[in-house]
Amino acid sequence: MTSIIPLTSNASSIFEIEIEDRLLTLQTKFNGRAGTWTLNIDEGDIPLAIGITLVLGVDIIRQLNLEIGALLCFDTSEQGVDAEIDTLGSQVLLMHLTEEEIAALEIETVQGATIA
């Protein structure tokens, strides 16, 4: 089921969360120079991903093959603005979609396509 991962606008935040039956440690950091948020993902003492930039409109972990579904940033203001220092977790949310939800969306997109 699609869920919102509880992020905050603290300049650096670390917390544990269960995703797809795996206990993961997520760490967010704000890079003041670049004006971007990044995400690290660990499983136990094993780093799975380091420094993923939180940007809108893409599965930020797709290329990593972590088998935990998809992570997507969404701007609730519908202005299409990536998270700023004070908007992560309030205006810009991080959503998790399961593998099943991704497959259903792909099928829906294919079946909903029209051929002229």
Residue ranges per structural domain of the chain: 3-112
Place of tokens 């940007």: 55
CA-closest candidate to residue 67, choices 21, 107, 15, 28: 21
Residue-level pLDDT at 106? 72
Q: Can you say how many angstroms the Cα of residue 82 is from the centroid of all Cα atoms in its chain?
A: 12
What helix, strand, coil percent values describe the chain, rounded to 5?
Answer: 15, 45, 40
Residue-level pLDDT at 1? 67
Residue-level pLDDT at 113? 46
Residue-level pLDDT at 99? 86
Place of tokens 């992570």: 71
Tell how many helices (H) and how many strands (E) occur in the chain.
Answer: 1, 7
Q: What is the pTM of this model?
A: 0.85
Query: In which residue ranges of the chain is pLDDT below 50?
Result: 110-116
Question: Which pLDDT tens digit goes with each residue over 86-110?
Answer: 999 999 999 999 988 888 877 655 4
- Alpha carbons 78 and 93: distance in angstroms, whole number: 12
Residue-level pLDDT at 114? 38
